[in-house]
Amino acid sequence: MKTTIEAPDPIHRTISVELPWPMLAEELDREYRDLAKKVEIRGFRKGKVPKPVLRQRFSEKVNADVLGRLIQEAYEAVLIQNKIQPVAVPELEHGKLKEGEPYKFVAKVEVQPEVEIKTLSGFQVKIEKPEISEEMISEEIERLRLSRSVLVPVDGRDVAEDGDTVIIDYEASMNGEMLEGGKKEDHQLELGSESTVPGFEDEIVGMKVGDRKEFDLKFPEENFPEDVAGKDVHFSVVLKALKQRELPELDDEFAKDLGEDGVETADDVRAMVERRLREGLESKAEKDAKTELIDKLLEANPVPVPPALVERRKVSMLQELQTMLQFQGMNPDQISENTDKMLEDLAPRAEKEVATAILLNAIADKEGIDVKQEDLDAHLQDVSAKSGENLARLKALYDDPNRAAELKATLRHDKVVDHLMNLSNIGSDEHKEQEEVEEDKDDQTPGDSQ
């Protein structure tokens, strides 16, 4: 078997293979012998059908079966012998099978690129120091109180105001015909939440309980189904009831109701909120710093990206996004209508994620960074401790080889980034100011200080 491999660029290989005729002849003969044992043809005893008859009737199928098997075997052998890692199904160019002549075929395939690592250390990365203000603490406490609020009837007023939660019946129609799903009864809506068609909530403000109101609204062009996007829709609304949120007092009883360890008083609530805000901002600052490091790493070590991997990642990201949107209550038809736009928007992020994965894997190989079973166990124990998820159940989930491989790849990338952070020059605004002061001192001479 003769083989030539061409590399037109870092992510493509053109593999030309020539299969010798003796190999083909041997495999064709074997296929016809096996066929003769199975086939039944009128006028011949089973197993005694002459080869010329078999060739006349079955040559097309036999040739296709033999060539298919030999091409696959030859292709896989070339990949192994030359350490080629394909990332997509090859594009095959078939030759013609002629008796007595070698058979030639060409396989064009995208491959995992070899990465030239130029620079790993010395990157300047800044970690922002979080600043927690009283306003931030107060806003977070208000969110906590709001999450434990209850809806109560509005007393002494029957006119809808911004901030009220209204109970309404409504019908939506266009050109005199009711829209699909356009009729709702006892629908609950918080005025000012901007959770529906722009202008709808404004029309409700000022209505009295028991009133019916008719109005038209033009739907925006974007983020709405094609049948209503940019079109006028007629609404008929009946205001049935007014409610408002009643927030619990920030007191010791509220603190205990949170069910958090060590939180018994209002002061404990403030301390808990401040701690969580700080932890969240510190985590975000570290994540931002790692993102900055990866950006600089990719700039210093350019990575050729196979289109097949980008396409695969785009589809995976799209599925994740569609699942999230459905969970949030978006209409499946509306999601489907926006598929092309979503894929287009996801393309840059998908390409960066693929490039990052390729580069981090190359660095892990170069630096000898790997993930062992004890790393997986420690991670699952940490997840269990933080989430309250049963550890045995988590371990059972990751008995699945594919899930375990995905987690292992993620943890390996995390290890690489942590390793690179240790090799980088990490600073903060505070450190930067201190360094500038020290540089100024170093630049001064004794005469300057007099």
Is 435's pLDDT higher than 90?
Answer: no
Query: Measured between alpha carbons, how far is residue 135 from residues 16, 173, 270 in Å?
Result: 69, 45, 12
Residue 45, pLDDT score: 65
Q: Are 348 and 355 in contact (CB under 8 A)?
A: no
> What is the tens place of the pLDDT at every residue in 141-189?
999 999 999 999 999 999 999 999 999 999 999 988 998 888 999 999 9
The DSSP secondary-structure symbol of 86 reads B
Residue 428, pLDDT score: 60
What number is the average pLDDT over the span 268-295? Answer: 95
Q: Are 231 and 201 in contact (CB under 8 A)?
A: no
Is 413's pLDDT higher than 60?
Answer: yes
What residues contact residue 61 under an 8 Å CB cut-off, 6+ apart? none
Categorize the per-residue pLDDT at 444 as very low, low, confident or very high, splitting at 50, 70 and 90: low
CA–CA gap between residue 427 and residue 203 (Å, rounded): 52
- Half-sphere exposure of 237 toward its Cβ, with a 13 Å CA cutoff? 26
| DSSP assignments along 298-350, one per residue | HHHS-----HHHHHHHHHHHHHHHHHHHHHTT--HHHHHHTHHHHHHHHHHHH
What number is the average pLDDT over the span 290-294? Answer: 95
Is 36's pLDDT higher than 90?
Answer: no
End-to-end CA distance of the chain: 87
pLDDT > 90: percent of the chain: 71
The owner of tokens 């037109």 is 8
> What is the tens place of the pLDDT at every residue in 399-412?
999 999 999 999 99
Residue 3, pLDDT score: 95
The DSSP secondary-structure symbol of 127 reads -
Q: Is 233 helix (H, G, I), strand (E, B) or coil?
A: strand
CA–CA gap between residue 405 and residue 411 (Å, rounded): 10
Is 138's pLDDT higher than 80?
Answer: yes
Is 210's pLDDT higher than 80?
Answer: yes
Q: Which two tokens stand for residue 204?
A: 């409700």
Q: Which two tokens stand for residue 156?
A: 């002494």
Which residue(s) pair with 12 in the sheet?
9, 110
The distance of Cα 267 from the centroid of its chain, to the nearest Å, equals 40
Is 74's pLDDT higher than 90?
Answer: yes
- Half-sphere exposure of 126 toward its Cβ, with a 13 Å CA cutoff? 9
Q: Which two tokens stand for residue 162?
A: 């911004």
Residue 434, pLDDT score: 47
**Backbone dihedral region for residue 95 (phi beyond 0: left; psi -120 to 50: alpha; all else: beta):** beta
Lowest mean pLDDT among 304-308, 417-421, 425-429: 425-429
Q: Is 185 helix (H, G, I), strand (E, B) or coil?
A: strand
User: Which one, of 185, 200, 191, 198, lies nearest residue 160 by Cα?
Assistant: 191
Categorize the per-residue pLDDT at 396 as very low, low, confident or very high, splitting at 50, 70 and 90: very high
CA–CA gap between residue 249 and residue 245 (Å, rounded): 13
What number is the average pLDDT over the span 113-134? Answer: 91
User: Which one, of 132, 418, 134, 431, lies nearest residue 280 by Cα?
Assistant: 132
CA–CA gap between residue 163 and residue 255 (Å, rounded): 26
CA–CA gap between residue 432 and residue 122 (Å, rounded): 16
Which residue(s) pair with 235 in the sheet?
172, 215
CA–CA gap between residue 251 and residue 261 (Å, rounded): 16
Is 330's pLDDT higher than 80?
Answer: no
Residue 431, pLDDT score: 45
Tell me the range of 116-130, 224-238, 264-278 where mean pLDDT is highest.
264-278
- Number of other residues whose CB lies within 10 A of the CB of residue 266: 16
Is 445's pLDDT higher than 50?
Answer: no
Residue 222, pLDDT score: 77
The DSSP secondary-structure symbol of 248 reads P
Q: What is the mean pLDDT of the chain?
A: 89
Query: Measured between alpha carbons, how far is residue 187 from residues 164, 210, 245, 329 in Å?
Result: 13, 15, 16, 15
Domains of the chain plus CATH, in order, are 2-110 (3.30.70.1050), 150-246 (3.10.50.40), 298-429 (1.10.3120.10)
- Number of other residues whose CB lies within 10 A of the CB of residue 170: 20
CA–CA gap between residue 238 and residue 301 (Å, rounded): 63
- Half-sphere exposure of 305 toward its Cβ, with a 13 Å CA cutoff? 21
What residue type is 10 in one-letter code?
P
- Number of other residues whose CB lies within 10 A of the CB of residue 199: 13
Residue 388, pLDDT score: 86
